[in-house]
Amino acid sequence: MRIKKEFLDLLCCPKRNCRGNLFLVEQNSALKCSFCGDEYPVIDGIPVVFPNAAYSSELHKRHWDAEANAAAYAKKYDSYLKKEGVPWGIYTHISEMEAIKKLTKEVDLKGKTILDCGCGNGRLLTLYPEAGMKIGIDASLLLLQAAQKREPDFFFVCGQLEDMPFKDAIADFSVSVRVFQHLKVPEHAFAEMVRVTKPSGHVALELYNKLNLKELYKRFRMLKWMEKIKPWGLSYDRYYSFREIEKWCRDNFVKTQKYAGAGWGVNFYLFEPIKFRRLAPDWLQKFVYDIFLRIENAVGTWPFFSKTMEKVCIIGSLQAKPRRNLITKVADRMRTYFDVKRALRFEGILKDRNYCFVSDDKEHLTSVLYWFKRAQDATADSGIS
């Protein structure tokens, strides 16, 4: 499968000290960097572009790249797109997608370029049929191959978020859903998301929330002695709070605009111990999860809930002014009012006056005289000339 030129023009070498252009070689079976000369394979039309592939070809393989895991994941989320499958899975999928839709409600993405970072089977890209170009990047080649078969018009690349093989400012909207918990250096991935986003664009994240009871339950389950009884399933699984996300935004000059919450986490720390998913009939599960979803839609963007639910979602702009609450707006207005009054009063003092009082600005006058004295002392004839 040949890579389209419009997609190829967006790619570059993933190495941070290179970023050279990539071009097709060997009958479209590989990409070669025009600067450093490194080659990257193209499998089923999907570029596999990792910065250290020449030294460790297995470096990028992660949990979901095992064939059985990838097949199960793709099958599960493909069914969720059709609103089929287990009630809890459908609820989780709808909850996560609707949270992102709430954040982008006021963002015009018609004909724009969307980049899904950690796209999996590309489920989020299907939410925006109005978008122009839809690009997905993920570390699992098998998941991307399954997504490519379902969505042949999407562009997919196999790579890592910490070193994305894209040129600067190629996307209007960059988003990542439930991926950062797997990354060891998430701040690098966020910086990359900002780098590849246009100055007029937006970035959005959906992460597992540290400020939720599920975080305590996860830590309990990941204790060494609990791993032997009931393992959590992942050796590395880190959650983040909105404070940490805001720091990433400040470090990358991104203005946070809106928050939204997704999910409640009760399925893990409440329903799982009582085996609700196993024992309750489907109709009861659907009824319960539908109630949760309705409550979530009603309060998910409220300040408290948007930052304490199972997943915290945020959208930021590279250009927008920061949102101000009512107190900040009133304080800014009062500050402006008194600044204007002070300026008018000073203007009245200086009106029709050709002299000044030393007391008006004694410190400034003293510093000027001191400067003249130093200048005089520095001349050979003590300033006589």
Residue 70 backbone phi and psi in degrees, to 5? -65, -40
Q: How large is the average pLDDT for residues 182-190?
A: 94
Q: How far is the C-alpha of 55 from the C-alpha of 100, rounded, in Å?
A: 38
174 token code pair? 């960059």
Residue 361: its pLDDT value, please?
62
Domain-wise residue ranges, the chain? 5-46, 63-317, 332-378
Least confident residue range of 164-168, 320-324, 325-329:
320-324
Residue 77: its pLDDT value, please?
74
Least confident residue range of 119-123, 149-153, 216-220, 254-258:
216-220
Of 107, 148, 151, residue with least CA distance to 126: 151
Torsion angle, alpha carbons of 179, 180, 185, 191, to 10: 90
Residue 116: its pLDDT value, please?
98
Q: Is the pLDDT reported for residue 218 higher than 90?
A: no
Residue labelled with tokens 């915290």 = 312
Least confident residue range of 68-72, 133-137, 369-373:
68-72
Per-residue pLDDT reduced to its tens digit, 62-91: 555 666 676 777 777 778 777 888 898 899
For the chain, give the number of residues: 385
Contact (CB, 8 A) for 179 and 239: no
pLDDT band at 286 (very low <50, low <70, confident <90, very high): very high
User: What CATH topology corresponds to 63-317?
Assistant: Rossmann fold (3.40.50)
Q: How far is the C-alpha of 157 from the C-alpha of 262, rounded, in Å?
A: 28
Cα 78-112-106 angle, rounded to 5 deg = 85
Q: How large is the average pLDDT for residues 271-286?
A: 89
Helix (H) or strand (E) holding 244: helix 242-251
Residue 348: its pLDDT value, please?
75
Q: How large is the average pLDDT for residues 163-192?
A: 96
Q: Is the pLDDT reported for residue 265 higher than 90?
A: no
Q: How large is the average pLDDT for residues 280-304?
A: 94
